[in-house]
Structure formats: structure tokens, C-alpha cells
Amino acid sequence: MEYREIGKTGLKSSIIGLGCEHLDGKPYEQVNETVNAALEQGINLLDVFMPGKEVRENIAKSLGSRRKDVMIQGHIGSTDIGQQYDISRDLPVVQRYFEDLLRIFGGYIDFGMMFFIDSEEDYKGVFETGFADYVQRLKKQGDIGHIGFSSHNPEMAMRVINTGLPDLLLFSINLAFDLYPSDKYVLDELDHGLDSTAFRGIDPKRAALYKLCEKKGVGITVMKTLGAGKLLSPEHTPFEKPMTVAQCIHYALTRPAVASVMLGCKTREEVLDSVRYLDMSDNERDYTPILGTLRNDFRGNCVYCSHCQPCPANIDIAAVNKYLDIARLDLENIPPSIHSHYSGLAYGGGACISCGSCETRCPFDVPIIENMAEAARIFE
């Protein structure tokens, strides 16, 4: 397993996490088998947004004394008052559900996630009531380690991040969503089928969100990595052909600030199938063939695919381009963390020998040699 830092929390997560939604309603034996497989494979981050008591208790029972070996994303405001997943901002209800979650998982939740902030109404329900104050009290009391939130709306997510409150964002990331105009609500569109004619390159608001998270030190964990399975389906994919699981995982992991993809596995076999990504070649992970028909929409812009590798000077070109893109957001105020990340690279842009081998392989005509020189000027 590979591990990444989660923003500025000082914690590291497995790059593949376990989203536990599909364990809801399953017998304990199946939950136990799936959780055991995840831990055996080095997975150390679980998302438990489901409000049902039985699934929470089954997961906690399976973890047992190993609870200390994993981090839990537990959601504040997720309820099932009507015997279905629901959102509540009513504090007595919110407290009852979250405090039961605390009890079940040993009195501590690593990431207390403010549940589902997608709309203006959602935002007001969190920040213009006592909800956010309650969350901050939980952290002050030591009931949660860090504050996070979940969202599917890039504009609203940026607004929440700019409050300075969260350390973590659970966000829906996949290639199709990133290509879709952000003025369309992707969850509704997904239900009806994404309109591929609307694809116009990476949506600038979504790209800006990922860069803002990197800049602010807010980690991202990923939901909807597979587009609810539709990106894998010949019948439902919005592309000319389905993506593979590995391509979906790799795309999400190449976005700035992403620490882990939370895959919704419900069996041991699905866990093992997911972690096969770790042993796959760069060619098997490569998602650029899917972008081929849209190439003109990406011309000149790095999508961090690493198609340009290997570099004779051993530069991690995608990483240099990523930090350069973030620096360009505000050259007068580049965060110290970005300088630190850049200086941690074995070789920076200044090592470029201008051989051009990267540019001949780049599918999107990125001016890599120019970018390496600019990065050297800014960072070195």
C-alpha cells in the first residue's frame, strides 16, 4: 500500500480507502470479511456516513481492538429519521446520531465531516445556525480529531474552505464530472445520463477547487470515483468506451490535494480487485486515451497524467507542473507549504536539460520546457 499526507493534518492515509456505504444491510459475516480484507491490504481510512445503527455496529465489531489502526470519517448531520438516508441540521437530532456514532467507535472520530454542503440552503444550515459551533465544540472536547465536510458542488466547497474551518473535503471526483460544466448539478445529471456534448475540457471551477485545497493544506478524499459504476459500463459511459477501475483511480489520484479514493467495496473480492491498481503499469493506469477525442480542449494544459515520463533528468514533471499551477494562482503569496513540497522533490525544474523528449510524448502539447524554466525561476 502507498500512503499520502492528508493536507496539513500530519496524518497519512492509504491512497485507497474503504467507503462503507455498500456494507449497509449486509450480514455481519460479509461486513467482517470485507473489513478484514481492507486491513490486510493496508487500508487505514474508512468512510462511515451511513446513519443506520446496525451497519455502524457491525463495522465497529469487526474492527475490535484494531480500531486504533484506522481512521474514521464520520458524518455530522447524516440521519435516517424516515428510515432512509437524510440530512438534518436540527441540533438535537444531529447530536443524537453523531453521539451514537461516537459511542460505537470508542468515543473518538478522526474526521468529523459536516454532511452534504451543496447548496446555499445547506451552507446556511451549517454556518448560520448552531451547527458549526457544535462541530467546533466536538473538536475542542477531543471527540473529533479534525473537521471536514462533504460536497459535490465546487463553488460551495470553495466557500466552505475559505471559512478556514475544515481540514478535509470529501468530494466527488472522476474524469466525467471534471469535464462537465459546474453550473450543472452532477448528481442530478448522473441519474439522467451525462451529456457528453457538454464536455469542454476540465471545468475551471473544479480545477480551481483542487488547487485551492492544495494551497490551503486541505486534504481531499474522493467519492464517486467510478461515477456510481457508470464509467465502467459500456451501456452508460459518456465516453466512446468504458474506463477501467485503474484509470478511474489514477485520474482521481492525480488531482492536486487528493490523499485517498474511497471505493465502495462490499466483498473481499472487490477489495482485492481495487488494490490491484498498486501493481499495475503506467500504461494500464493511463487515462489519456479517453481524452483523445477531446484533445483540442486540453491543448497546452497539463492534466498531470505523467504521459511525459520518463524524464532523462529524473524530474517528476507532473508534480513540478502541479506546484507551478498553484503558484500561478497568486505569485505574490505562494504558501510556504507549496515551496516546501517543491523543495522536497528530488529534482526540480532547474534540472531540465531541454531535450524535448517529454514534449514529444505529451498528448496535449504542454510547453514543458518553458514550464520547467518558469518553475526554476519561481521556486529555485
In this model, does residue 188 exceed pLDDT 90? no
> How far apart are the C-alpha atoms of 307 and 289, rounded to whole Å?
11
Lookup result for grid cell 465536510: 149
- On whether both 223 and 359 belong to a single domain, the answer is no
- Report which DSSP code applies to 260: E
| pLDDT tens, residue by residue, 18-42 | 999 999 999 999 999 999 999 999 9
**pLDDT above 80 (res 294):** no
Is residue 79 a contact partner of residue 95, using CB atoms and an 8 Å limit? Answer: no
Domain shared by 236 and 308, yes or no: no
In a shared domain, residues 269 and 320: no
User: Per the domain annotation, does 243 fall within a domain?
Assistant: yes
CA separation for the pair 77, 95 (Å, rounded) = 8
CB 9 within 8 A of CB 255: no
Confidence bin at 363 (pLDDT 50/70/90): confident
267 and 247 within one domain: yes
pLDDT, tens digit (0-9, with 9 covering 90-100), for 46-78: 999 999 999 999 999 999 999 999 999 999 999
Give the residue numbers spanning the domain of 102: 3-287
The pTM of the full predicted model, rounded to 2 decimals, is: 0.91
Indicate the DSSP class of residue 97: H
Least-confidence region, from 102-116, 185-199, 227-241? 185-199
Q: Are residues 248 and 157 in the same domain?
A: yes
Average predicted confidence (pLDDT) for the chain: 93
97 and 8 assigned to the same domain: yes
Q: Which residues contact 82 (CB under 8 A, 6 or more apart)?
A: none
Choose one of 267, 287, 307: the last residue of a domain: 287
- Going by their DSSP bridges, the two strands 219-223 and 258-263 should be labelled as parallel
Q: How many independent structural domains does the chain possess?
A: 2
Cβ burial 181-218 (10 Å sphere, 16+ → b, else e)? ebeeebeebbeeebeeeebebbbeebbebbbbbbbbbb
| Pairing between β-strand 86-87 and β-strand 109-114 as defined by DSSP bridges | unpaired
**Are 196 and 77 members of one domain?**
yes
Tell whether 293 is covered by a domain.
no
Q: Is 300 helix (H, G, I), strand (E, B) or coil?
A: coil
CA 126 from centre of chain: 22
Question: Is pLDDT at 306 greater than 90 in this prediction?
Answer: no
Quick one: 338 and 206 in the same domain? Answer: no
pLDDT at residue 214, rounded to an integer: 95
* pLDDT of amino acid 37: 98
Per DSSP, 165 falls in state: -
The pLDDT > 90 percentage for the chain reads 78
Residue 359 domain flag: yes
List b or e across 16-32, with b for residues whose CB sees 16 or more CB atoms inside 10 angstroms: bbbbbbbbbebeeeebb
